[in-house]
Structure 1
Amino acid sequence: MGQRVLKSLTFWLSEQPAIVNFRWSPTQSWGSTWSFLFTAIAAYIAAATALHLLLTLFRRRRPVPLGPIPAFHSLSVALISAVIFVGTVLSATAEIRDTRWLWGRTKTTTPLQWLLCFPLGTRPSGRVFFWSYAFYLSRFLHLPRTFFTVLRRRKLTIFTLFNQSILIFMSFLWLEFSQSFQVLAILLTTLLYSVVYGYRFWTEIGLPRACFPLVVNCQVVLLVCNLVCHFMVLLLHLFKGGCNGIGAWGFNSVLNGAILFFFLNFYVKKMHSRKSRAADHDEASSTHPGSVNNKVKDS
């Protein structure tokens, strides 16, 4: 039974002709032009900002009821991320098996090097790039969460708009320039999204939350893994004859650095705000008559 399931998954997620023969091109791939990319990002920023200003203008303080929509969205993103993760694993395994990424037709390169560093001249076609394209399209499924945040009357931050826009832009660069490192990046990111959005679905249907900030911790783990992998790509490029798409990789590294800076800044401010509120609460409770009586009783 297990073998049948594995064979079925392998065929549908890595051996279909549409996957094997995939090619990234403006004529064959929807959303593969620069004009589409910039138009989509601009429309997203404009729509989110307009919605935020509209709610502010009408001074609506209560959250807009969204019903089961956020929960359904989280479940959808979690499942799609899991499919992309499994498809990428199976496709990368098939590519390694077919030895399409060997440098100089030697057997000295390890699978980890294949995943980190594409050989020079690699074109965006085949199994792995099909799932890279699926990942690029899935990035647009994350955008509604920004509108959920605005409708719930939470603050719309520049970090949110910047982060979502940059992630779409980077996934486009992966395909456009056959950038190295994208395989591991997709695996790490989709694995994290499966956990994070699965957890969000869990909490949005009313189940108990974790006793620690799971989402933030997952984001920190992803950022650390990305930094380590970027350093390894640089070493491979310098000492193993070069990696494909290194120019896009360099720009990608700068964007990742910007995301890390904004994230740390946002995280520090958020933790400082929580500590300030906790301190104010403790101070208020210490001067409350009820708390004084409780202390007397305890003593």
Structure 2
Amino acid sequence: MKKLFLPFLFLLVLILGACGNNESVNEDNTTETKTDTFTYQSETGPIEVPTDPKRVVALTNGPNALALGANIVGIDEWTNTNPLFEEKLKGVEVVSEDNLEKIIELEPDLIIAGSYMKNIDKLNEIAPTVVFTWGKLDYLTQQVEIGKLLNKETETKEWVKDFQERAKTAGEAIQAKIGEDATVSVIESGDKEFYVFGNNYARGTEILYQAMELKMPDKVKELALESGIYTFSSEMLPEFAGDYVILSKNPDVDNSFMETDVWKNIPAVKNNQVFEINTKASTYSDPITLEYLLEFSKNHFLITS
């Protein structure tokens, strides 16, 4: 009886040990570690995702995931060219929804994609794929959703609350200095045209208009607030320039307009109330970018203006 009991006991210990390590043995005697999952309520329905994703391919919302310390192994080309993320993205592969073979090679356990992208079904076959629709959520709610997806909801909500408080305090200080009625416009240079932005199109607009509650010129409010962006020609620059201008300057385009009389005669230019930001470093609304632009706003409005 004892001879039968001892082998059985030994076998039971092995089984319990394997369960405790959350590992299973394949037919070829290799060990496979199982990943814990939870159900994330995505905009397309519930989906099982890793509780602690180890290899994330972010075809969109990469900066939001980076801000939460996600291990990004694949990133979209636009995020990759952003100077704010250069250090964090060293060695990360640039991919798109068309690069299915390369994505397979990266062995992701989670993929983040845009709802407009192709091959969503095929991406789902590689790893759980969560899609987001750009603009469906406001900039802070979007970050909270990424926090939920990466199982970091609590710390994300804490950051949101803290950021809102700091931005509001900075906004009050700025209004006290420049005046409550002073207007601010955010203008970007293009190849042959210009863009002016409403209150939810990155370039710091969410901070300036939503968090800080600074005022935009009436012309900007009329043409860009609802749509988010309005395109115009250089001759119209004076019409869209506020008392203060945040110039999103694209280093890759012709910026000779800054030498023209039209530009030089704008009151904000004459009064040295134009603050330049790098377009490539300001086209997202993730925590890394928001923190950078909040400090930019404080430094320029409160210190150099």
TM-score normalised to the size of structure 2? 0.22
- In terms of fraction of residues, the more strand-rich structure is 2
Higher helix share: 1
Return the TM-score normalized by structure 1: 0.23
Higher relative contact order (CA 8 A, sep 6+): 1
